Structure 1
């Protein structure tokens, strides 16, 4: 799990209100303000004034509505911390830190008529295909190499009240489907950005929506998961709910990765925010069990559930007397990969939350598609146990192994090699890449270091391959004591069969400050078409590289304000978590990410070739 001591990792903005909870005015406004500031200093400042890398800054919190903050404290990622405050103090704190104007809803401009489809999706699934290779043919991309230098912004869409935009879209010829921090899911017209429909999930939708197709080959149902670990199935044409199903088997359970679909079954990765709960000294750490659940795509019924750890049990006590419970954690916060030919599902796992670590953390695991039984596992980094308590001092809940927190946040890719055969490729936050043999129980074929590694990568969210080349984005942001070698942020190319390096382009910082506005790190997943690889950087720069030598073919600056088609005040920022989508002649990206002190933003950007 990424180091996310975020005050507001995700929560619903829409429909939340603190108006009904009248705040006593006996102290007067100045007295309330002083009391609220004291609450902030005692309960929040240690993280949000720069003490914890994963926490949004106070400036970022000030751009959020009080409703968003109160929900995070009541039922969201900070509910354990909020439980120590009474209801009135939570309201005072949210009103003092937040911005009431940020919660103002904006009228939605709906398209005229009904949404209909005239063909299959142009970009679907997190990885553009079930094997997660993130490679698009020219026909689906609707874009040739000669078109790329001619790309210009067609329109921008602002997400109300948001400080991050991380739900990578699914795209058809007619619509762009994307989630938001508020929990609202949009079907936007590809030409104008008007809304065909909206759907209220109730909690942040941060993964990539997934379209199924009907017997006519046209989109039928849209699937996605929300922060409250609820899977939703809605009519792709109307946005009407078909079913919703909770998969939560732990109070802190959530869905970070995107869903996979095969032969009528949805495969849902299970992650959690218990890594944050462990920050509290009196929290008994830890009991979450990562894994995957398989659901019937027609009705949401559970088919099987698999966990990465056995049932945790008490193994000791912390320095303050709370129980130490293990094994725990090993979340799956990336998208499962389908291997239909072998009947396997491949997943990457994260670190354990408590010591001792088990043998399925920081691993690539193959599961039987039908039963969920484990077929084999490859563990790259044993003895990795870490949680948010390790970022403070004293740290009674920090596992004795204390890191290195080198998850597989990027899903494995099943690649058809040029010249024949297949290989399973994996990239880790350690900064290493791996070639595994899918025909020989995941046997390691090669292993190569690309970057120095770190808690945000190394390889963070994803790579891309066409079978002839593997393209790897490296973040290498500073701050991990387990990093090896010099930082190598940028894009790197390898022979996927052998792991031999082909070329590298190191992106030097754009200014001298140690700040995200200067960082050229590539944390978001790469996306490729014939001749070009698209990437988004921590500083907000959007780039298209030559797939042959890494030269820059085109770029645009997203770290700025944008005029939006829906009238929402919006700006871009860090591009992270969500990758570039190339579909139907469009280049689409979300910009803005408020974690780890990165640059907040709330905009969806749609580019097309000039004159088209």
Structure 2
């Protein structure tokens, strides 16, 4: 009887078990099985007790895994489960390596399924003996965790530019994943913009079959022509760039959406709560009044192709950051960062606004001054980083009201030392990466190429490592680090810290990007 009670207590410990799906374990581990680290989206590893504020300054490089030279960015944040690191490369392959040594266990060539060139833009979710991830062609994959053998691959997309930057989340036999598109990149006048509409999907985890879908946009309609004479379609867009969060108690999923590509309408720039079983919308909050943007908005004298450029409504203020769930005085809240620089907090049950905090100012198209990919919550504070905010800054916020507990700007000497010092035209004091935390420590990477560990209590920098250099990969290739990546951040698991390096903007090198792993001396 005592054993049964103890087992029940362990299985209800969400900090130790969240994100592992239905897999049973003999004891909790400090693994990192999904992009958020757990279902609630905290990006916090409560079970990580090997690395502490007292010893984090001793972290050293344990191994590097290098990719061939490519024009692709390393976007696939690793998942770490049962001693294996799972991640996608810039070379169209997905890898499983020994988490301690980097030695390759298996690799999978995406071109065996999708037309090349193809690569992974999201982070994997590991559950029930399978590894789930998406690619930039709109396919979703399930591989055998042990062997890398393909279990299934499905493309439920009807648009040629569809892709998955949203990392999957496993829950109750289903995979939940959002879709975005590269259609915004079409800036040529002859392109009949735009026909993509974002959607959030529930897939059967065993077969990949579509269970339900929620569209963020109505079907785009032809509404005339662009100045070039090609057909104009609207509204469009509302892509889902980031990963969802889940409240297991109520079975509610939360996800954010992006801007309109053309026209105005639909669930653009919105945080949406849906029933995980049916996809029924429970509530939604639109945080921007108007936001229509695509790459054409960067061109001068483009009013005919980018209405809103002159009146200040073409700002790309989408919710690319993943949501966090946390409790304040027993009340479940959901927070999400926006590219406008605002962190929004709502009642998770009703969608009622609780508070908002403006952390940076930005007023230009393709807004990169705000909150970009992900934030973290350690049970006491929220940790939020700003991107090109002159400089990018790491904040600790009071979750009850958004008050700033401390703020630490990107160190002002970040471009003056290490490999970045040789490229002042590339280096910027900015944070593209998602924030990660473990007890007492917060991790954030910079465009200046440094991965840093901060005190969660004071915001002081406890450790930093320059990645703008050559690395001899354990796989026999030479790689070169650079800006720390968006689409993910550092992963801390079982006494190790992992990060991809070589994101945009690109530092000069003749080598490809790298995956890096750090650990304590003698560990």
TM-score greater than 0.5 by the shorter chain: yes
- 2:368–2:387 CA contact under 8 A, matched in 1: yes
Matches within 5 A, 1:133-148: 133-137=42-46, 139-140=47-48, 142-148=50-56
1:332-390 Cα deviation digits (max 9, x unpaired): 010011122222211100100012x2141111011121121222111111210001111
Show the counterpart of 1:302.
210
- 2:482–2:506 CA contact under 8 A, matched in 1: no
Show the counterpart of 1:588.
498
For residues 503 and 272 of structure 2, the distance between their equivalents in structure 1, rounded to whole angstroms, comes to 30
Change (3 A) 1:165 1:141: farther
Which one has the bigger helix percentage? 1
Pair 1:461-2:368 in alignment? no
The one of 125, 128, 131 aligned to 2:37 = 128
- 2:426–2:506 CA contact under 8 A, matched in 1: no
Pair 1:367-2:277 in alignment? no
Partner of 1:445, secondary structure, is: strand
- 1:305–1:372 CA contact under 8 A, matched in 2: yes
Which one has the bigger strand percentage? 2
Change (3 A) 1:608 1:173: farther
Pair 1:602-2:513 in alignment? yes
Matches within 5 A, 1:310-459: 310-355=218-263, 357-395=264-302, 398-402=305-309, 403-417=314-328, 419-440=329-350, 442-453=351-362, 455-459=367-371
- 1:201–1:232 CA contact under 8 A, matched in 2: no
Partner of 1:435, secondary structure, is: strand
The one of 381, 384, 387 aligned to 1:475 = 387
- 2:246–2:252 CA contact under 8 A, matched in 1: yes
Show the counterpart of 1:174.
83
Aligned length: 475
**TM-score (norm: length of structure 1):** 0.74
Change (3 A) 1:602 1:397: farther
Change (3 A) 1:519 1:509: farther
For residues 398 and 461 of structure 1, the distance between their equivalents in structure 2, rounded to whole angstroms, comes to 28
- 1:306–1:372 CA contact under 8 A, matched in 2: yes
For residues 30 and 408 of structure 2, the distance between their equivalents in structure 1, rounded to whole angstroms, comes to 33
For residues 247 and 501 of structure 2, the distance between their equivalents in structure 1, rounded to whole angstroms, comes to 32
For residues 286 and 574 of structure 1, the distance between their equivalents in structure 2, rounded to whole angstroms, comes to 32
- 1:473–1:491 CA contact under 8 A, matched in 2: yes
Structure 2 residue runs of 5 or longer lacking an equivalent are: 1-24, 112-117
1:110-156 Cα deviation digits (max 9, x unpaired): xxxxxxx997670111110011110111x346422222011111111
Matches within 5 A, 1:56-205: 122-137=31-46, 139-140=47-48, 142-163=50-71, 164-202=73-111, 203-205=118-120
Partner of 1:134, secondary structure, is: coil
Residue 172 of structure 1 and its aligned partner are, at CA, apart by 2.3
For residues 404 and 206 of structure 2, the distance between their equivalents in structure 1, rounded to whole angstroms, comes to 45
- 1:141–1:586 CA contact under 8 A, matched in 2: no
Aligned-pair Cα RMSD in Å = 2.0
For residues 272 and 330 of structure 1, the distance between their equivalents in structure 2, rounded to whole angstroms, comes to 9
The one of 395, 413, 423 aligned to 1:492 = 395
Show the counterpart of 1:37.
none
Structure 1 residue runs of 5 or longer lacking an equivalent are: 1-116, 214-219, 478-486
Matches within 5 A, 1:512-551: 515=424, 517-551=426-460
Partner of 1:146, secondary structure, is: coil
Partner of 1:261, secondary structure, is: strand
Change (3 A) 1:598 1:358: farther
Of structures 1 and 2, the larger Rg is shown by 1
1:393-447 Cα deviation digits (max 9, x unpaired): 3537633123110111111111134x5322101100100111100122x111111
Residue 500 of structure 1 and its aligned partner are, at CA, apart by 1.2
Change (3 A) 1:405 1:597: farther
Residue 173 of structure 1 and its aligned partner are, at CA, apart by 4.0
Change (3 A) 1:122 1:438: same
For residues 383 and 337 of structure 2, the distance between their equivalents in structure 1, rounded to whole angstroms, comes to 11
